[in-house]
């Protein structure tokens, strides 16, 4: 009887881990496809890049899950390469070459590890009004990504927004909503997975899924250090990657606090140091194995909130599944069959839940005049920059890297306004004017 219960527990955690994997899989393979395409990788090179990126996502996730004396935040997090790194990597790869791109990744990883302590000590600058604004902004700035996928993935394609894509996307979202309303127990916990499976099966029935990528994929792909060449180092490439790394550290901080809020855990400075160091170590390994730097995926907040699963075991299963898929590209290719529109429908719910979690955190904040100003300006600036990144197109490329990212602009605005309004004489002035 006990063996049967254990078997059911393993199967349950495996299914929940698979749900985590599917929800973030598109983000995992998106970056290598964008980078490889921009740098004109061959088919063989692209196969290695995608497979090893999936493998390293699993390794990076394990580094963050497992607490050690120096690393691991021990929250239900999943790691992948953030889109903030895409433009810098494309620029470095095209202007200087692949070795300098990987040199920049390793340097950024070392920088993250070195700055982990001082950056964690900035925790006092992230009170609930700041972290709540940050999480709200993360969710709302990701909604356009969900809609782009829902329309087919490529907004410039003629097929973007066709009725078939809309049917697949909104059917997936509707299934997830219906299960969350009327579903019970484990069935409700895997609502996202069921929605994605229903959407994919519908796409297959409508003839929108081809299986050629599975037959063309290899059976085995082992990790190989310096596959594309030995890393080289150049100051401007390193500086660009460090700027992108700081951006991701800010976003990761918000995700840490959001997951801590959901799981009922209080984070201290030591926890944050461990989290940052894990991401730095993952970036160094990414440079060595010629993949990417890795940071905490924000969409995971939505999965944890929707499923109600706050334990680490399902995420461990997800990490091991990623490692297996990375070593066996043919299995990994099966997950690429999921249409972008289906993933977009799931993302719509998940990213909306991230934003809603931020609003929930803000409900615990005293909504006086100064805090309302912090929320309004930070969220407004972040969303504005996200929708109109061309606003800074005439500024230097390094400055654009920072200012064209809504997360960074909104985060800095929230931190600076909080310091000014809640810690200086301006506080009194604003309260008097309220």
Full-model pTM: 0.67
Nearest to 272 by CA among 426, 55, 71: 71
386 in a structural domain: yes
Instruction: Please give the span between the terminal C-alpha atoms of the chain, in angstroms, as a whole number.
Output: 65
> Residue 7: what pLDDT?
52
Give the C-alpha separation, 24 to 37, whole Å. Answer: 21
Number of domains present in the structure of the chain: 2
Report pLDDT for 83.
63
**Are residues 325 and 253 part of one domain?**
yes
Residue 242 domain-assigned (yes or no): yes
CA distance 167 to 175: 12
Among the candidates 317, 333, 363, a domain finishes at 363
Q: Do 280 and 342 belong to one domain?
A: yes
b/e 46-59 (16+ beta carbons within 10 angstroms → b): bbbbbbbbbbbbbb
Which of 340, 363, 386 is the last residue before a domain boundary?
Answer: 363
Any domain includes 431: yes
If asked whether residues 70 and 30 sit together in one domain, one would say yes
For residues 282 and 194, state if they share a domain: yes
What's the pLDDT at 84? 66
Q: Which of 333, 363, 393 is the last residue of a domain?
A: 363
The verdict on 227 and 109 lying in the same domain is yes
User: Cα separation of 324 and 387, whole Å?
Assistant: 37
Contact 279, 77 (CB under 8 A): no
Let me know if residue 72 belongs to a domain: yes
Asked if residue 14 belongs to a domain, the reply is yes
Tell me which residues of the chain have a pLDDT lower than 70.
Answer: 1-8, 18-31, 33-34, 37-38, 40, 42-44, 83-84, 86-87, 185-187, 189-190, 210-218, 298-300, 302-303, 305-309, 331-336, 397-398, 401-402, 405, 424-434
Rg (C-alpha) for the chain, rounded Å, is 21
Is residue 191 one of the residues assigned to a domain?
Answer: yes
Burial 368-403 (b: 16+ CB within 10 A, else e): eebbeebbebbbebbbebbeeeeebeeeeeeebbbb
389 shares its domain with 291 = no
Indicate if 278 and 414 belong to the same structural domain.
no
Q: Please indicate, yes or no, whether residues 282 and 418 belong to a single structural domain of this protein.
A: no
State which residues form the domain around 143: 10-363
- 152 and 112 in one domain? yes
Cβ neighbours of residue 284 under 8 Å, at least 6 residues apart? 105, 106, 109, 110, 113
Domain contains 159: yes
Q: Kindly state whether residue 160 falls inside one of the protein's structural domains.
A: yes
356 and 384 fall within a common domain:
no
**For residue 243, what are the contacts with CB-CB under 8 A and spacing of at least 6?**
88, 398, 401, 402
Same domain, 170 and 100: yes
Spacing of C-alpha 229 from chain mean position: 27
The reply to whether 403 and 318 lie within a common domain is: no
> Do 311 and 117 form a contact (C-beta atoms < 8 A)?
no
Any idea of the CA torsion for 91, 93, 99, 105, to the nearest 10 degrees? 50
> CA 26 to CA 11: how far, in whole Å?
24
């Amino acid at each position: 009887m006990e063996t049967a219960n254990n078997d059911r527990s393993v199967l349950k955690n495996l299914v929940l881990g698979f749900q985590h994997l599917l929800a973030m899989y598109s983000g995992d393979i998106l970056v290598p496809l964008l980078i490889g395409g921009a740098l004109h990788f061959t088919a063989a090179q692209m196969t290695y890049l995608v497979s090893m990126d999936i493998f390293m996502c699993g390794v990076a996730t394990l580094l963050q899950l497992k607490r050690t004396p120096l690393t691991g935040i021990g929250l239900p997090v999943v790691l992948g390469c953030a889109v903030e790194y895409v433009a810098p990597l494309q620029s470095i790869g095209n202007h200087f070459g692949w070795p300098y791109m990987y040199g920049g990744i390793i340097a950024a990883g070392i920088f993250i590890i070195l700055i982990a302590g001082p950056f964690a000590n900035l925790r006092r600058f992230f009170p609930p009004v700041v972290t709540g604004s940050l999480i709200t902004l993360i969710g709302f700035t990701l909604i356009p990504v969900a809609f782009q996928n829902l329309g087919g993935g490529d907004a410039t394609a003629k097929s973007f927004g066709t009725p078939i894509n809309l049917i697949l996307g909104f059917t997936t979202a509707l299934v997830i909503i219906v299960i969350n309303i009327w579903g019970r127990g484990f069935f409700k916990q895997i609502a996202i997975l069921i929605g994605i499976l229903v959407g994919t099966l519908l796409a297959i029935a409508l003839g929108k899924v081809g299986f050629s990528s599975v037959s063309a994929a290899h059976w085995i792909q082992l990790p190989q250090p310096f596959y594309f060449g030995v890393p080289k180092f150049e100051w401007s490439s390193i500086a660009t990657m460090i700027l992108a790394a700081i951006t991701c550290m800010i976003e990761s901080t918000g995700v840490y606090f959001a997951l801590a809020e959901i799981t009922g855990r209080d984070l201290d400075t030591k926890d944050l140091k461990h989290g940052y160091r894990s991401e730095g170590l993952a970036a160094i390994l990414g440079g060595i194995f010629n993949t990417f730097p890795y940071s905490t995926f924000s969409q995971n907040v939505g999965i944890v909130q929707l499923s109600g699963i706050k334990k680490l075991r399902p995420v461990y299963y997800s990490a091991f599944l990623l490692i297996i898929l990375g070593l066996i590209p043919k299995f990994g290719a099966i997950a690429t069959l999921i249409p972008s529109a289906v993933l977009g429908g799931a993302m719509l719910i998940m990213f909306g839940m991230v934003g809603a979690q931020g609003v929930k955190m803000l409900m615990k904040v005293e909504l006086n005049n100064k805090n309302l100003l912090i929320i309004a300006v930070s969220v407004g600036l972040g969303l504005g920059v996200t929708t109109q990144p061309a606003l800074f197109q005439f500024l230097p490329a390094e400055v654009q890297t920072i200012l064209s990212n809504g997360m960074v602009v909104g985060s800095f605005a929230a931190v600076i306004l909080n310091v000014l309004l809640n810690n200086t004489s301006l506080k009194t002035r604003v309260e008097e004017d309220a």
